[in-house]
Amino acid sequence: MNGKQKNKLASYIVTAAIETEADPAILAQMPDALLHLAALRAAIAKIEQASAAQLHYAQRATGNKKEARLALEEAVFNSAAALCALSTRLKDVTLAEEWNLSVNTLQKMRDHNLFATATNLVTAMQPYATQLEAYGIPKSGNTVLTDTIALFGALMPKPRENQLSEKEASLQLLEGFNDAQAAATALDTLANMLRKREPAFYADYRNRRTAIKTAARPYAATGSVTDNTGNPLRYVSVAIDGLPDTVRTTDKGNFRFQTLPDGVHILHFRLHGYQDQSHAISVNQHRSDRMAIELRES
């Protein structure tokens, strides 16, 4: 769940608790209130079950799943680019369109979709093994791609017995919030009937329905990386001293780091064929300037 959804869930939970905390005589003045509260509790249970399943899939298995995914994205991108280049030479438009994968497309894929795409790519490349040698793909097999597929596949969380699949969890989460909102809206209408008759109850009810405010959003360091002619560089590795995460630049050469604390941070930029660079960024009160990095060929 995202922050907004967590706030909504918190509001739904404290609203549902009004059944046991409010005066029964007041609730009796609200037709079908108990039915709507029961529907709200059922929706909350549905949300919590889906959220627990999503958390399971989001957790890292043994090893660094995020690094393995980045490696697989890069391997798929490079292999697909080689296949596209070959298909252009062969004038195979269908093959070129099928494997014209951008960095953004790969980054937006769910884990299982990325894994399936990589596996299908291996199959698609097999008939062209000899021709692909000219594009840096060994005839004996694309071991970089197959190895990263195997590593990433081993790190992907597997569904537990009787647990929702990743897709089912997403659908149930959405359904749960829709059900909760419908029940809460019905309760809002009933509570509004008591606005003047039971002002203390109404004020308490409205407080329960107000989403809990979250803290201010942490600063996200952003920037772009280009070559010395101004062309954006994609798949540049960007790392920060003292932080475990590494990001890659997008098709437009952009990168973004979330949740940077105040202070001075050293960012390291690396891309095969270019000179490594390091730059400092100062974050003060969750603000800093957008970085513009230029890499030179090595």
pLDDT tier at 251, thresholds 50, 70, 90: confident
Instruction: Encode pLDDT of 77-133 as tens digits.
Output: 888 888 888 888 889 888 888 998 888 889 889 888 999 999 999 889 888 888 887
**Residue whose entry in the numeric block shows the structure tokens 């690396």:** 270
Would you state the pLDDT for residue 140? Answer: 57
Rounded distance, CA 48 to CA 107, Å? 27
Calculate the CA 273 to chain-centre distance: 30
- 3-state SS, the chain, equals CCHHHHHHHHHHHHHHCHHHHCCHHHHCCCCCHHHHHHHHHHHHHHHHHHHHHHHHHHCCCCCCHHHHHHHHHHHHHHHHHHHHHHHHHCCCHHHHHHCCCCHHHHHHCCHHHHHHHHHHHHHHHHHHHHHHHHHCCCCCCCHHHHHHHHHHHHHCCCCCCCCCCHHHHHHHHHHHHHHHHHHHHHHHHHHHCCCCCCHHHHHHHHHHHCCCCCCCCCCCEEEEEECCCCCECCCCEEEECCCCCEEECCCCCEEEECCCCCEEEEEEEECCCECCEEEEEEEECCECCCEEEECCEC
pLDDT tier at 62, thresholds 50, 70, 90: very low
What lies within 8 Å, CB to CB, of 244 at 6+ separation is none
| More confident: 290 or 228 | 228
pLDDT tier at 214, thresholds 50, 70, 90: very low
Would you state the pLDDT for residue 159? Answer: 60
- Least confident piece of the model among 6-20, 52-66, 201-215: 52-66
**Residue whose entry in the numeric block shows the structure tokens 């891309």:** 271
Would you state the pLDDT for residue 161? Answer: 61
> C-alpha distances in angstroms, 202 versus 19, 37, 92, 194?
14, 16, 68, 7
Amino acid at site 277: Q
The torsion angles phi and psi of 155, rounded to 5 degrees, stand at -95, -10
Judge whether residue 220 has pLDDT over 90.
no
Mean pLDDT of 242-261: 81
Rounded distance, CA 47 to CA 5, Å? 10
Tokens of 109: 């894929």
Would you state the pLDDT for residue 298? Answer: 78
What is the residue-averaged pLDDT of the chain? 83
Cα dihedral value 15, 19, 23, 27, nearest 10: 90
pLDDT tier at 259, thresholds 50, 70, 90: low
> C-alpha distances in angstroms, 198 versus 184, 201, 203, 205, 206?
19, 5, 9, 11, 12
- Least confident piece of the model among 18-32, 104-118, 134-148, 163-177: 134-148
CA quadruple 193, 199, 204, 209: dihedral sign: positive
Instruction: Encode pLDDT of 156-203 as tens digits.
Output: 766 666 677 878 888 999 999 999 999 999 999 999 999 999 999 999
Would you state the pLDDT for residue 284? Answer: 65
**Residue whose entry in the numeric block shows the structure tokens 């360091």:** 221
pTM attached to this predicted model: 0.46
Judge whether residue 211 has pLDDT over 60.
no
Would you state the pLDDT for residue 82? Answer: 86
| More confident: 22 or 2 | 22
